[in-house]
């Protein structure tokens, strides 16, 4: 569907009913053209022709619910996300666009590390590794021949095994399907220390966040860490780190947690995703779906792993001085919600995370390549 010009020029609020409504992707500083009224009307007309939407609905979404400046801010932010995506050229070798390691996968949970690792590949990483327990490995391998699976996490020399791979990895995603076994968590502590010692960025999700709630010092002040808590995980972390999380808006709560952890980036997932590095706060409320099947957060964490690598590689001229990790987080949240939206359009109630993963390519293209 030819949505490019409408989207690129005017923001997704002008898009039709099979497309996302964007709201609350507020604000990153940056320049951008203010839409002239006449141009907006012309684009709205184009949207109407393309999607046969009632005029009222388009106007309400475009102007009543979302102020013009927030559309502009959102467009500016997504433009910066687009800037960090490395060009695809014939000059690159395998691995350059990302070698991601997922630390997780145990007897109970094999889907979560698979979702994270395959999502990283689908976003554009070249190689995706899973470091899981011995029992989980053949199961995870059997889901996909594209994943490289290491059955080491419950071994007494787990840290050593993973350390051997660290020089060849760009980012670690720690936690999907890890479980809460004390021996495993102890190994993951060692792996995190080793990653930090090599300055390797880490995305911490799921049971990785359980570990951080018990040992916040593990990541204190590590600026290359992104935490991706859901509602329950966020509350658990806040209780552990702040003791008295206090009152206040979601935005303040996320900013406070980030600050208390020494400005690690926090992505609080929910009806709106709130993202902060302790200094800035962004929100992503791109329309996803009302489907809440398990695994969507795993998709997000794997996608984020790749985007973190790309954002850190891009350099300040591409990010316009904005925090690379904030941009990466905004990219991953937008992408996950867009996948959810597109999958739900096709599958409705029966949508599962596998359906969302099938949408990663088209959703990425629609958000970032048109």
Ligand X SMILES: NC(=O)C1=CN([C@@H]2O[C@H](COP(=O)(O)OP(=O)(O)OC[C@H]3O[C@@H](n4cnc5c(N)ncnc54)[C@H](OP(=O)(O)O)[C@@H]3O)[C@@H](O)[C@H]2O)[C@@H](O)CC1
Ligand Y SMILES: Nc1ncnc2c1ncn2[C@@H]1O[C@H](COP(=O)(O)OP(=O)(O)OP(=O)(O)O)[C@@H](O)[C@H]1O
Work out whether 206 is an interface residue with ligand X (CB under 6 A).
yes
At closest approach, how far in Å is the CB of 256 from ligand X?
20
The interface partner of residue 296, options being Mg ion, ligand Y, ligand X, none and the CB cut-off 5 to 8 Å by kind, is ligand Y
Q: Among 36-44, 85-93, 211-219, 297-305, which window interacts with ligand Y (CB under 6 A)?
A: 297-305
At closest approach, how far in Å is the CB of 333 from ligand Y?
6
Work out whether 110 is an interface residue with ligand Y (CB under 6 A).
no
At closest approach, how far in Å is the CB of 167 from ligand Y?
29
Q: Return the residue of 198, 215, 231, 365 that touches ligand X, per CB under 6 A.
A: 231
Closest to ligand Y by CB, 12 or 300: 300
Distance set, CA 70 to CA 19, 119, 276, 328 (Å): 18, 29, 18, 19
CB neighbourhood size of 112 (10 A): 30
Closest to ligand Y by CB, 40 or 184: 184
Work out whether 270 is an interface residue with ligand Y (CB under 6 A).
yes
Angle at 4 between CA 303 and CA 346, to 5 degrees: 60
Q: Are 367 and 330 in contact (CB under 8 A)?
A: no
At closest approach, how far in Å is the CB of 291 from ligand Y?
9
Task: Give residues 286-315 in contact with ligand X (rule: CB under 6 A).
Answer: 294-295, 297-298
Work out whether 175 is an interface residue with Mg ion (CB under 5 A).
no
Binding mask 297-336 for Mg ion (x = CB under 5 A): x---------------------------------------
Q: Are 221 and 263 in contact (CB under 8 A)?
A: yes
Closest to ligand Y by CB, 76 or 353: 353
CA dihedral 149, 150, 153, 155 (to 10 degrees): 150
234 exposure class (CB count in 10 Å sphere: 0-12, 13-18, 19+): buried
Return the structure tokens found at 195: 């990653």
Task: Give residues 207-226 in contact with ligand X (rule: CB under 6 A).
Answer: 207
- Is 90 marked as binding a ligand? no
Closest to ligand X by CB, 5 or 270: 270
Work out whether 177 is an interface residue with ligand X (CB under 6 A).
yes
Q: Residue 257 and residue 234: Cα distance in Å, rounded?
A: 9
- Is 289 marked as binding a ligand? yes
Q: What is the DSSP string of 295-317?
A: THHHHHHHHHHHHHHHHHHH-HH
- Is 196 marked as binding a ligand? no
Closest to ligand X by CB, 31 or 232: 232
- Is 238 marked as binding a ligand? no
Return the structure tokens found at 315: 């350099």
Location of structure tokens 């393309």: 50
DSSP state letter for 33: P
- Which residue, 293, 308, 305, is CA-closest to 339? 293
Q: Residue 85 and residue 245: Cα distance in Å, rounded?
A: 36
- Is 296 marked as binding a ligand? yes
Location of structure tokens 């359009």: 345
- Which residue, 147, 169, 164, is CA-closest to 99? 169
Q: Among 127-135, 172-180, 256-264, 325-333, which window interacts with ligand X (CB under 6 A)?
A: 172-180
At closest approach, how far in Å is the CB of 269 from ligand Y?
4
Chain residues in the site for ligand Y (CB under 6 A): 206, 230, 269-271, 273, 288, 294-298, 300, 333, 336-337
């Amino acid at each position: 569907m030819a949505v490019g010009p409408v989207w690129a020029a005017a923001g997704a609020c002008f898009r039709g009913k099979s497309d996302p409504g964007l709201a609350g992707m507020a604000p990153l500083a940056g320049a951008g053209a203010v839409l002239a009224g006449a141009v907006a009307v012309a684009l709205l007309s184009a949207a109407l022709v393309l999607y046969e939407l009632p005029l009222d609905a388009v106007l309400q979404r475009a102007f009543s619910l979302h102020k013009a400046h927030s559309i502009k801010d959102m467009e500016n932010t997504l433009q910066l996300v687009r800037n960090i995506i490395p060009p695809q050229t014939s000059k690159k070798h395998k691995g350059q666009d990302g070698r991601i390691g997922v630390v997780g996968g145990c007897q109970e949970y094999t889907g979560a590390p698979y979702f994270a690792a395959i999502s990283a590949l689908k976003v554009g990483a070249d190689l995706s590794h899973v470091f899981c327990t011995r029992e989980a490995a053949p199961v995870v391998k059997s889901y996909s021949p594209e994943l490289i699976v290491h059955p080491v996490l419950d071994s007494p020399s787990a840290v050593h095994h993973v350390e051997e791979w660290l020089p060849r990895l760009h980012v670690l995603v720690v936690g999907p399907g890890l479980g809460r076994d004390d021996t495993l968590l102890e190994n993951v502590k060692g792996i995190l220390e080793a990653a930090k010692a090599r300055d390797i960025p880490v995305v911490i999700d799921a049971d990785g966040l359980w570990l951080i709630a018990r040992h916040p010092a593990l990541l204190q002040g590590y600026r290359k860490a992104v935490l991706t808590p859901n509602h329950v995980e966020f509350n658990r972390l806040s209780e552990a780190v702040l003791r008295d999380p206090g009152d206040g808006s979601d935005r303040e709560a996320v900013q406070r947690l980030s600050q208390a952890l020494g400005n690690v980036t926090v992505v609080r997932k929910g009806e709106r995703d709130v993202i902060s590095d302790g200094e800035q706060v962004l929100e992503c409320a791109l329309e996803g779906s009302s489907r809440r099947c398990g695994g969507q957060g795993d998709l997000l964490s794997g996608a984020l792993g790749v985007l973190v690598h790309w954002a850190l590689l891009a350099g300040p001229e591409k990010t316009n001085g904005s925090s690379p990790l904030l941009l990466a987080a905004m990219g991953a949240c937008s992408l996950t919600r867009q996948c959810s939206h597109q999958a739900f359009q096709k599958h409705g109630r029966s949508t599962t995370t596998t359906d969302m993963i099938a949408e990663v390519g088209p959703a990425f293209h629609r958000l970032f390549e048109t």
